[in-house]
Amino acid sequence: MTRQLISSGSPFEAQIGYSRAVVQGDWVFVSGTTGFDYATMSISPHVEQQARQCLENIAHALAQAGASMGDVVRVNYILPDGGDFEACWPVLREVFGEVRPAATMISARLLDPRMRIEIEVTALRRG
């Protein structure tokens, strides 16, 4: 099985030593992705906007792997303040409302205090 590494161009990948996504067979594993706009290295202070940007970043990585958000089978949400999660629901529902992947929300501190949400997904490419 060929292993494909996908990069977003984020400086964090080289600094920490990871890939935005790894493709192994039909599986796509997308690393925890925050709400940074990697083109400008800026991040919104609003959790909803960060969630939207996370999902855009993830969709881009999945597209590079030949997959889409419709292929997501597992999603993990990590928020420093679990109370922020409900504000993200409308954004998450837009993307995953029909897909309905298995999901977990965890409350944990993130690397940068500006980060209010991090999202990690696993996808299975459909033939």
Structural domain boundaries of the chain? 3-124
Residues 101, 72: Cα–Cα separation, whole Å: 6
Q: Which CATH number describes the domain made up of 3-124?
A: 3.30.1330.40
**76 contacts 50 by C-beta, under 8 angstroms:** no
Mean pLDDT of 4-18: 87
Pick the more confident residue, 39 or 87: 87
What's the predicted TM-score (pTM) here? 0.94
Contacts of 6 (CB under 8 A, 6+ apart): 19, 20, 21, 22, 23, 61, 64, 65
1: exposed, middle or buried (Cβ count in 10 Å: 0-12, 13-18, 19+): exposed
- Residue 118 has a pLDDT of 98
77-105 pLDDT, tens per residue?
999 999 999 999 999 999 999 999 999 99
